[in-house]
């Protein structure tokens, strides 16, 4: 996959691309990055990319005569162009999965007050990473890239993300590592007995329990399996017993 990022702050991406799983994915050729400084599309002496809002108001607005040519010059017919904006559709794991199937994406990072409205006509998608406002789209573009890259074949072990939260509509089950006992707290014995059937069932049950407790909204439209319904009954009985 190719990820092109249009930004005014290309240096912000050095560490992101140069460390850990993202670096390994890049080195293995799983992902290719192109970080494009769209200030280069400004022809004036001071390389201005923004101007004051028409009819007044605070802040500066990114100019269409800079960004639209930058978008056009750097995209081809298969480039999926995404504007980072708090006004976009809310980013979720299913969108990461959808984007991970594209050959090439372009992520456009705003700054200042944001974009001239006309720029929206030149993109395929608008995405927000949450209901809050960042100073620029760079961190948001890293969130998108990171969550997409870990889904690409061979970026990480497939099993590592198969059980991740949201992947099957549930939060992930509790995870433990050594030491088996710490500060009086012990790893559940089912995880130590080597019985894969028991472990799988325990994990599913604890995933359901966690999701019920922390994110019941995720369960609203869930089509439960027979086993999940049994486990939900068990959870309910256990919780009634604790009252
Ligand atoms: C200060 S914000 C502009 C916000 C804009 N005035 C508004 O109210 O919609 C500057 C840039 O940061 C990025 N940004 C800020 N919050 C974001 C969010 N929640 N998700 C994605 N991008 C965001 C966008 O690229 C945006 O153009």
Encode pLDDT of 40-77 as tens digits.
999 999 999 999 999 899 999 999 999 999 999 999 99
**Cβ-Cβ contacts under 8 Å for 186 (sequence gap 6 or more):** 180
Q: Is the confidence at residue 133, as pLDDT, over 80?
A: yes
CATH number where 30 lies: 3.40.1280.10
Do 209 and 150 share a structural domain?
no
Residue 164 appears among annotated catalytic residues: yes
Do 129 and 92 share a structural domain?
yes
CA–CA separation, 63 and 74 (whole Å): 17
Helix ranges (DSSP H) in 62-174: 64-73, 93-100, 138-149, 158-162
Q: Which of 9, 84, 86 to mutate to test the pocket of ligand 1 (most atoms within 8 A of CB)?
A: 86
Q: Is the confidence at residue 167, as pLDDT, over 90?
A: no
Query: Looking at 86, 116, 138, 206, which residue is catalytic?
Result: 86
CA–CA separation, 119 and 108 (whole Å): 10
Query: Looking at 24, 39, 120, 150, which residue is catalytic?
Result: 150
> Cβ(144) to ligand 1 under 6 A?
no
Counting atoms of ligand 1 from 1, which one is nearest the CA of 87?
A: 9
> Taking CA 18 as the corner, what is the angle to CA 34 and CA 155, rounded to the nearest 5 degrees?
80
> Cβ(86) to ligand 1 under 6 A?
yes
Do 151 and 41 share a structural domain?
yes
């Amino acid at each position: 996959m190719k990820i092109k990022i249009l930004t005014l702050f290309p240096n912000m991406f050095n560490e992101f691309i140069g460390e850990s799983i993202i670096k390994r994915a890049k080195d293995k050729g799983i992902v290719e990055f192109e970080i494009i400084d769209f200030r280069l599309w400004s022809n004036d002496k001071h390389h201005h990319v923004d101007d004051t809002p028409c009819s007044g108001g605070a802040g500066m607005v990114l100019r269409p005569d800079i960004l639209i040519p930058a978008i056009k010059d750097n995209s081809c017919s298969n480039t999926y162009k995404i504007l980072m904006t708090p006004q976009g559709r809310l980013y979720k794991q299913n969108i990461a999965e959808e984007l991970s199937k594209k050959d090439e994406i372009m992520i456009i990072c705003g700054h200042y007050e944001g974009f001239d409205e006309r720029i929206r006509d030149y993109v395929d998608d608008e995405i927000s990473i949450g209901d809050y406002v960042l100073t620029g789209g760079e961190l948001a573009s890293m969130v998108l890239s990171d969550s997409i890259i870990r889904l690409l074949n061979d970026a990480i072990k497939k099993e590592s993300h198969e059980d991740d939260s949201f992947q099957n509509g549930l939060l992930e089950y509790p995870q433990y590592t050594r030491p088996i006992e710490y500060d009086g707290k012990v790893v559940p014995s089912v995880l130590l007995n080597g019985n894969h059937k028991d472990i799988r069932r325990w994990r599913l049950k604890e995933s359901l329990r966690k999701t019920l407790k922390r994110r019941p909204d995720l369960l609203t439209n869930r089509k439960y399996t027979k086993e999940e319904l049994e486990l939900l009954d068990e959870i309910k009985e256990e919780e009634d017993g604790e009252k």
